[in-house]
Amino acid sequence: MKQFTCVQDLGDLRSALAEAFEIKKDRFKYSELGRNKTLMMIFFNSSLRTRLSTQKAAFNLGMNVMVLDINQGAWKLETERGVIMAGDKQEHILEAIPVMGSYCDIIGVRSFARFEDREFDYNEVILNQFTKYSGRPVFSMEAATRHPLQSFADLITIEEYKTKERPKVVLTWAPHPRPLPQAVPNSFAEWMNTTDYDFVITHPEGYELDPKFVGRAKVEYDQRKAFEGADFIYAKSWGAYTGENYGRVLSTDRSWTVSSGQMACTDNAFFMHCLPVRRNMIVSDEVIECDRSIVIPEAANREISATVVLKRMIEGLEK
């Protein structure tokens, strides 16, 4: 595998899931594969799970790891070409990227949507610059429009916990004081659309996602109706996508906070969230602490999804 930025890069999901469950049984099975190979992880934004789970995955495979936080200790990077660099940015990304590429074999990049210009975000300008100029295989550790390592872990988790062949999975918007990127809901929808699950998205009017990601999902504006008979509730907040409202908070209506009342409408659904989560904004204490909350095993599966992805990328280096 030469890159991992979306579900299509993984190819057949059945075989990817089989590989994930094989690695889960013995996560050190391929501990020699990454010997003398170096992973560089570049963070433009904060992280707990992605940072730790991806490093752990690299260690499982015997890799060396370097981590760079661009905004803490590195030179400030200019990302636009043609800018007269008379401001506070000391280095251009077009030199920085090939330099970083010269020190490693594989690069992971985290670069969130900036919410300044939808076209800039949805063209994945930063991630694509790494792909174009690093000379190395690149994978996304959450980019402007997708978070595929998270979505792969989410799929592994649903496959582990489902008790029906075709579970009902509901992605619900939830309130948050600040606008959050659409990467997680976009990506979750993209991955769910590759399955034959009954997949529903619910949000207040104005929070419609890019139709490209919504795909075949049923969109239901009544959250309680959407929750009826659900087997999995996947909560996430996101800022508006459409028109001039791009990147704005349109509602902080706490009646959308996932609480026991809504969960009672479901078929004893499991509760999922990618974390970090703001309690009693997105989900109540009771729901996230109840025995149907699977947010911790979901986060633990980030190590598994990252191990599969890195294993395939190392294998791709040999070809």
Cβ proximity to ligand CP, 94 vs 275, nearer residue: 275
Q: How far is the CA of 270 from the CAs of 149, 155, 161, 163, 298, in angstroms? A: 20, 13, 8, 11, 11
Cβ proximity to ligand CP, 30 vs 145, nearer residue: 145
Cβ proximity to ligand CP, 50 vs 293, nearer residue: 50
Cβ proximity to ligand CP, 30 vs 152, nearer residue: 152
Residue window 206-235: x/- pattern of binding to ligand CP, with contact defined by CB under 6 A: ------------------------------
Please list every residue from 251 through 280 that binds ligand CP, using CB under 6 A: 274-276
Torsion of CA 57, 59, 60, 61, to 10 degrees: 100
Cβ proximity to ligand CP, 11 vs 276, nearer residue: 276
Please list every residue from 27 through 56 that binds ligand CP, using CB under 6 A: 47-50
- Contact flag: residue 193 with ligand CP (CB under 6 A): no
Smallest gap from Cβ 53 to ligand CP, in A, equals: 8
- When binding is defined by CB under 6 A, the residue of 124, 142, 190, 303 that contacts ligand CP is 142
**Cβ atoms 227, 258 nearer than 8 A:** no
Q: How far apart are CA 137 and CA 313, in angstroms?
A: 7
The identity of residue 284, as a single letter, is S
Peptide bond into 276 cis (omega under 30): yes
Q: How far apart are CA 56 and CA 311, in angstroms?
A: 13
How wide is the angle at C-alpha 102 spanned by C-alphas 36 and 48, nearest 5°?
A: 70
Point out which residues bind ligand CP (CB under 6 A): 47-50, 142, 150, 274-276
